[in-house]
Amino acid sequence: MAGYRELLARVRSEIEEISTIEAHERHTAPDAPLFVDVREPDEWEEGHIPGAVYTGRGRLEQRIEGLVPDKARPLVVYCSAGSRSAFAAKALEELGYLDVVNLAAGFSDWKRNGFDVTIPRVLSTEQRARYSRHLLIPEVGEDGQQRLLDARVLLVGAGGLGSPASLYLAAAGVGKLGIVDADVVDESNLQRQIVHATDRLGEPKVLSAKRTVEALNPDVRVVPYQERLTSENVDRILGEGWDVIVDGADNFPTRYLVNDASVWHGIPVVHGSIFRFEGQVTVFAPGKGPCYRCLFPKPPPPELAPSCAEGGVLGVLPGIIGSIQANEALKLILDRGDSLAGRLLLFDALGTTLDEVVVRRDPDCPVCGEHPTITEYIDYVEFCNAVSLN
Amino acid sequence: MAAVRIPPTLRAEVGGARQLEARGETVADVLDDLVERHPALGPQLLADGELAPFVNVFVGGEDIRTLDGTDTPVRNGDSLILLPAMAGG
């Protein structure tokens, strides 16, 4: 039976090792290998090699294929002094990883050389419990959760679409939610606007939503804007700094205002709209994909735009579309997956069918095209009022 | 024959149908066939005899504005989607 020293010596002789200096050179090269930290969680939290991924030695075999699906990807494994990572390197080779090297003198030697170290921001014990199902997903993990906590999302509308979107974004830990809505909670809202409640009737929607969202997750700060988005206030509100806008407005003038402002402020918009049994959802990413005006250059005439109360909507439909909007917003924040930019989903709740159409950037678009003809905000007439006045 | 998806905003004009079959070699022919059989669709789809600027038509998932407009050929079995702007939230 070999003792620990003999076993370690044998494993080290069977794997590739590199010096700290060489590891540092490879770390700064353009095609840098992935550094895999196999120390204990508290060691990682005190500092690690920049860009490294973390998986403790204990769960290495279980987790590595999720973290690194490509077995040909070059890996540098490290612990504090090169022993634990030697066994880890051996295990990775046995799992089929083709290019694994051990950082022979470990992270302590990396630090002694004065090389860069990242000190991670750490989730609290409560956050670790709250977001545990996110932390288990390789595409989110601790880095992704920190991104969500740092993220700022502006919700235009606290109605049918804004309700599920705000709830799911808050539950996911998006740190700052701005909510723009001038209305108060009305009885006719409660059939679908699940962020509000019967005891909130008459209360401003933004304050009702703030109460619900902050009760759901104290990590979230809600900034209420109890005003209607107009050409007068849109630059002030968008200028406060948002990573993503979730458009759940209920009228065309606001839709076009959100679009034009988002193009000029360079903020992606997750767009959703609903009518009766049908929903549309897409992403408008300025500079990368089409905008709302590439698809609909100008609003339809008011008499052909049944957008408001008279149309009716199945209560669950905004739940589905607003949840897809939350999903797109989270992916944009996490920079994961394929967004709906350039694609529009059409959901039909009656047939339970989902169609997809391609939306292309229009070089002649009046706002984001090569020669824009719209360069300042337009206050369109209020459609619903126009219809009722007619 | 092509299958034309009727958006909810236009279903009142076609007796509530969610999808209609229509004939035509091009998008313009298909729309003419629809309007002939459902005249109430006319003012919703056409302006001065042309496709109204606020109506988007997709053939096989592509916007006809990126194809040949209303001259875009329609083959037997193609799916057309009429996509109106909707503002509800």
Is CATH 3.40.250.10 the classification given to domain A4-120?
yes
C-alpha–C-alpha distance, residues A88 and A218, integer Å: 39
Say if residue A227 is exposed, middle or buried (CB neighbours under 10 Å; 0-12, 13-18, 19+): middle
Please give the pLDDT value at position A310: 65
For every residue of A149-213, DSSP letters joined together read HH-EEEEE-SSTTHHHHHHHHHHTT-SEEEEE---B--GGGTTT-TTS-GGGTTSBHHHHHHHHH
Residues of chain A found within 8 Å of residue B63, distances taken between Cβ atoms: 295, 357-360
Of A211, A183, A178, whose CA–CA distance to A195 is shortest? A211
Interchain contact, B88 vs A360, CB within 8 Å: no
Domain ranges of chain B: 2-84
What is the reported pTM? Answer: 0.79
CB B34 within 8 A of CB B22: yes
Mean pLDDT of each 10-residue bin along chain B, 89 residues long = 92 92 96 95 86 90 95 96 91
Please give the pLDDT value at position A122: 87
For the structural domain made of A151-389, what CATH number should be given?
A: 3.40.50.720
Residues of chain A found within 8 Å of residue B85, distances taken between Cβ atoms: 252, 255, 273, 295-296, 299-300, 305
Interchain contact, B8 vs A276, CB within 8 Å: yes
Q: How far is A205 from chain B (nearest CA, A)?
A: 14
Interface-testing mutation among A281, A296, A317, with chain B (most B C-beta atoms within 10 A): A296
User: A 310-369 residues with CB below 8 A of B?
Assistant: 311, 313, 318, 344, 346, 348, 350-351, 355-360, 362
Give Cβ neighbours of residue B5 (< 8 Å, ≥ 6 apart): A355, B18, B19, B79, B80, B81, B82
Residue A362 CA, chain-centre distance (Å), reads 26
B63 Rama sector, left if φ>0, alpha if ψ -120 to 50, beta otherwise: beta
- Residues of A forming the active site: 308
What is the DSSP-derived secondary structure letter of residue A39?
A: S
Please give the pLDDT value at position A385: 45
Assigned superfamily of B2-84: Beta-grasp domain (3.10.20.30)
C-alpha–C-alpha distance, residues A152 and A243, integer Å: 5
Say if residue B42 is exposed, middle or buried (CB neighbours under 10 Å; 0-12, 13-18, 19+): middle
SS3 B73: strand
Domain ranges of chain A: 4-120, 151-389
Q: How far is B87 from chain A (nearest CA, A)?
A: 5
C-alpha–C-alpha distance, residues A248 and A272, integer Å: 6
CB A150 within 8 A of CB A241: no
Please give the pLDDT value at position A382: 59
Per residue in A172-190, pLDDT (tens digit) is 999 999 999 999 999 999 9
Residues of chain B found within 8 Å of residue A306, distances taken between Cβ atoms: 9
Establish, for the pair of chains A and B, how many residue pairs have beta carbons separated by less than 8 Å. Answer: 96
Q: Which residue has the tokens 């091009």?
A: B26
Please give the pLDDT value at position A388: 31
Q: What is the ipTM for the molecules in this complex?
A: 0.93
Per residue in A331-376, pLDDT (tens digit) is 999 999 999 999 999 999 999 999 999 999 999 999 999 999 999 9
Give Cβ neighbours of residue A324 (< 8 Å, ≥ 6 apart): A272, A281, A345, A347
Low-confidence ranges of chain A (pLDDT < 70): 1, 305-310, 382-390
